[in-house]
Structure 1
Amino acid sequence: MALKFDTKYPSIDDLRNKAQQSIPKFAFEYLDGGCNEDVNLHRNTSDIRDIQLKPQYLRKFNGASLKTKLFGIEYDAPFGISPIGLQGLIWPNSPEILAKAAFKHNIPFILSTVTTTSIERACEITEGKSWFQLYHPAKETVRNDIIKRAEAAHCPVLVILCDVPTFGFRPRDIKNGLAMPPKMSINNILQILGKPNWALNTLKYGQPNFKTLKPYMPKGLDLKQLGKFMDETFSGRLNEERIKPIRDMWKGKLVLKGVASEADTEEAIRLGFDGIIVSNHGGRQLDAGESSIKPLIRIAEKYGNKIEVMMDSGLRSGPDIARTIACGAKFTFMGRSFMYGTAALGKKGGDHTISLLKIQLQQIMEQLCCEKVEDLSKHLITNTLL
């Protein structure tokens, strides 16, 4: 595949700046912000960028390949698209834009329970290759039905989220009325009027709603009732009692997302998970916690031969992907980076962002004289993060 991208936006930072100009302030702040004072949001990326890699210029070099095997499937690059809630609020129809781009480029796309397209539609677009992230329902009947729908749609991987036992404290979202229940203030309406392209696309694709959850929602909910429904329907706190029935039901690969400690890794192995995604939810849940790269290094070294270890949170470039894999991650995921792309460039955003990251990662591997993704660890200079 010939990789092309819009040269006006040669970095994720360029896409972020364009996204900020293109969408209402409340939508951008929902996408861009962390929790509390944003300490861990910024630490995620800065700690990754403390990692240094060593080139080997005089060795024989036969070219670099980004292809990576995960759960028996060969992907064209060692990165995928993380689950993100309310994607259609950020840019209309963005889950479908990203699912199509992921399918075209042969990388994983993870659909969130609380995003704005359905399991069935995402799997139709990707011909049954979409992963599905389950935000744990409080009711067994809802949980079981969602899992059966994911199985019927041929999702190969079910991802369970463990790092939202409570909603993160996000001051901007609270100000903007994006906490539960949400509200639309005069200020938000004025912001919408200032972004006519976003508004027209929202009219075209309809007001964003939780399409996967639609069968379980009473008709005609107002905003206050929606908030109550979400509170009653979901319970994010996981334990063995909640995980075991899911492992028994789900015959595909099972991944735990949000792992941030060795203790939870050991428990995931004991409970029969096939993989973990080390993550702190993009710095949106625990501002006082570690950046994701720090536990990733410890976990990969100790458990990398027992379970597939992946990571998201803080990655914003091809060099960031290379650094993270060099530190022991088998695979990486990104959320904000892809949403900056769609918010900036609409229908072209997913393809642009994936192409950009592939080109950046390819250049890094060629510069290092690293032929295979799994050999990036050989180029790691002893890090100072431990």
Structure 2
Amino acid sequence: MAKNKKEIRYHSQYPSIEDLRTKAEKRIPRFAFEYLDGGCNEDINLYKNTSDIRDVELLPYYLTAHTESNMKTELFGHIYDAPFGVAPVGLQGLMWPNSPEILAKAAFEHNIPFILSTVSTSSIERISELTEGRAWFQLYHPAETSVRDDILKRAEAAGCPVLVILCDVPTFGFRPRDIRNGLAMPPKMSVNNILQILGKPKWAYNTLLHGQPNFETLRPYMPKNLNLKQLGKFMDQTFSGRLNEERIKPIRDMWKGKLVLKGVANEADAEKAVGLGLDGIIVSNHGGRQLDAGESTIKPLTRIAKDYGNKIKVMMDSGLRSGPDIARTMASGAEFTFMGRSFMYGVAALGKQGGDHTISLLKTQLQQVMEQICCEDVKDFPKHLISKS
């Protein structure tokens, strides 16, 4: 079982996510860092996500009677130690070897949720083993029903309490950095990429130690000995990212646990999620990696939480980089938050200690905000929102 209370301890040299990002850039090959760090097209929405969150202001009540601030948060019948979790990230082992296992273990020890992506580099079964069946699983929708059903059976057998289905990848985002670096589909390894690897010996050594990153959850469905070009073709043929109500209904019928739709960006899709009997939604724009011309996440979150927060669990990811960002987002109506890049910066910067450090850092920052504004419970954050209207 997870410990009742994980000791909060972080490395004083890296007291911000930006510090971790700077360190990560120095530690991993440029193609891996740019895959992690970049958005799509001109990166406009990537930066808007964070800047618009930081336009939110909180009101402190200094003369209010205050005993203590409690970050514990109930979600889907489980009480987590903080109102944030680790978002699903594809190809995690490319950024830092063994990173999904590092993060899953740290999340479990800190009693926060970890979401494993279908296209991450550890299997459902391995992550379930590390988290005693507490990890969530995020499904990229397979083109073949048999593959979908088998993955769902594996997730159920592994004890995953929550299934997250993804709706914001009907097509792959146009990501200029990845195209230049050969990380589009099909991928390729250029001489330049090889030189970058040689310049990062710790990353190269750890990659040799843990093996070339692979889509471990998908291994049973992949032909053996695929080259990179064949791998790209396999991925294109295996997944059909465009979700609709008819594709969601059989998943709702099959999946007996909690079902969450990730990638919701407007009220119409939120209403459909409610109508389909889903348990939660994650307002998200895929970290600004899919649609550069869209809204930042905090804007639809505010509207969706107001209209549907009493009908379905409303959560958010994309753009959060600090404890104050978590506070701002929850004050705007989110019941829970998730971060992807922030945790990957931590692992890329600090290796095995990166997960524990980043979670401890965010907990410390969030606790400080709560105590500063005299917020005793995370449910009370909306009382501290300064309205712009």
* TM-score after normalising by structure 1: 0.99
1:383 CA displacement: 2.9
SS at match of 2:103: helix
The Cα offsets for residues 178-216 of structure 1, whole Å up to 9 and x where unpaired, read as 001110000000000000000000000000000000000
- Tell me if 1:98 matches 2:103: yes
- Who is 2:83 aligned against? 78
The residue aligned with 2:18 is: 13
Partner of 1:133: 138
- For 2:159, the equivalent position in structure 1 comes to 154
Q: Provide the rounded CA distance (Å) in 2 between the counterparts of 1:378 and 1:240.
A: 36
Is the aligned partner of 1:354 residue 2:359? Answer: yes
Instruction: Using the TM superposition, give the Cα deviation of residue 57 of structure 1 relative to its aligned residue in structure 2, in angstroms.
Output: 0.5
Per the alignment, residue 327 of structure 1 pairs with: 332
Q: Does 1:190 align with 2:195?
A: yes
* Residue 241 of structure 1: how far off its partner (Å): 1.4
Distance 1:279 1:383 in 2: 22
Residue 386 of structure 2 aligns with an amino acid whose one-letter code is: I
Amino acid in structure 2 at the alignment position of 1:71:
F
Residue 269 of structure 2 corresponds to 264
Counterparts of 2:228 and 2:114 in 1: how far apart (Å)?
29
Following superposition, the deviation at residue 2 of structure 1 comes to: 2.6
Q: Which residue of 2 aligns with 1:221?
A: 226
3-state SS of the aligned residue for 1:329?
Answer: coil
Query: Which of 165, 168, 172 lines up with 2:170 in the alignment?
Result: 165
**Counterpart Cα distance in 1 of 2:203 and 2:318:** 27
In structure 2, C-alpha distance between the alignment counterparts of 1:367 and 1:242, rounded to whole Å: 46
> Which residue identity is paired with 2:20?
L
The aligned residue for residue 203 of structure 1 is: 208
Partner of 1:338: 343
Over 6 Å off, 4+ runs:
none
- SS of structure 2 residue aligned to 1:255: strand
> What's the offset of the Cα at 1:25?
0.1
- Which deviates more, 237-246 or 86-95? 237-246
Deviation at 1:93, TM superposition (A): 0.1
Q: Distance in 1 between matches of 2:64 and 2:303?
A: 30
Which residue is 1:123 aligned to? 128
Q: Please list the CA deviations of residues 308-357 of structure 1 after superposition, one character each: whole Å capped at 9, or x if unmatched.
A: 00000000000000000000000000000000000000000000000000
Please tell me the residue identity of whatever aligns with 2:42.
E
User: Which residue matches 1:304?
Assistant: 309
Q: Percent identity?
A: 77
Q: Which amino acid aligns with 1:218?
A: P
Mapped partners of 1:333, 1:296: distance in 2:
13
Distance 1:44 1:153 in 2: 34
1:35 matched to 2:46:
no
How many residues in Structure 1 have an aligned counterpart in Structure 2?
384
Distance across 1 between alignment mates of 2:53 and 2:244: 30
Render the CA deviation track for 1:105-161: whole Å, top value 9, x for unaligned: 000000000000000000100000000000000000000000000000000000000
Match of 1:317 among 318, 322, 344: 322
* C-alpha distance in structure 1 between counterparts of 2:64 and 2:235, whole Å: 57
* Structure 2 match to 1:380: 385
1:17 match: secondary structure: helix
Partners of 1:186 and 1:72 lie apart in 2 by 51
Aligned equivalents of 2:229, 2:63: Cα separation in 1: 65
Q: Residue 229 of structure 1 aligns to a residue in which SS?
A: helix
1:2 matched to 2:7? The reply is yes
Match of 2:292 in 1: 287
Q: Quick check: 1:250 aligned with 2:255?
A: yes
Q: Which residue of 1 aligns with 2:62?
A: 57
Quick one: distance in 2 between partners of 1:218 and 1:4? 44
- Once residues 332 and 2 of structure 1 are traced to their aligned partners in structure 2, the CA distance between those partners, rounded to angstroms, is 21
In 2, Cα distance between equivalents of 1:249 and 1:301:
30
Q: Distance in 2 between matches of 1:13 and 1:96?
A: 23
Task: State the distance in 2 between where 1:255 and 1:61 align.
Answer: 35
Shift of 1:101: 0.3
Query: SS of 2:316's equivalent?
Result: strand
The CA distance in 1 between the partners of 2:357 and 2:13, in whole Å, is: 11
Per-residue displacement from partner, 1:48-78 (whole Å, max 9, x unpaired)? 0000000000011011010000011100000
- Please name the residue that 1:177 is paired with: 182
The one-letter amino acid of 1:103's match is F
Which consecutive residues of structure 2, in runs of 5 or more, have no partner in the other structure?
A: 1-5
The equivalent residue for 2:3 is none
Question: Which amino acid is the alignment partner of residue 79 of structure 1?
Answer: F
Aligned-partner residue type, residue 6 of structure 1: H
Determine helix, strand or coil for the equivalent of 2:350: helix
CA positional deviation for 1:3: 1.0
Post-superposition shift, 1:272? 1.1
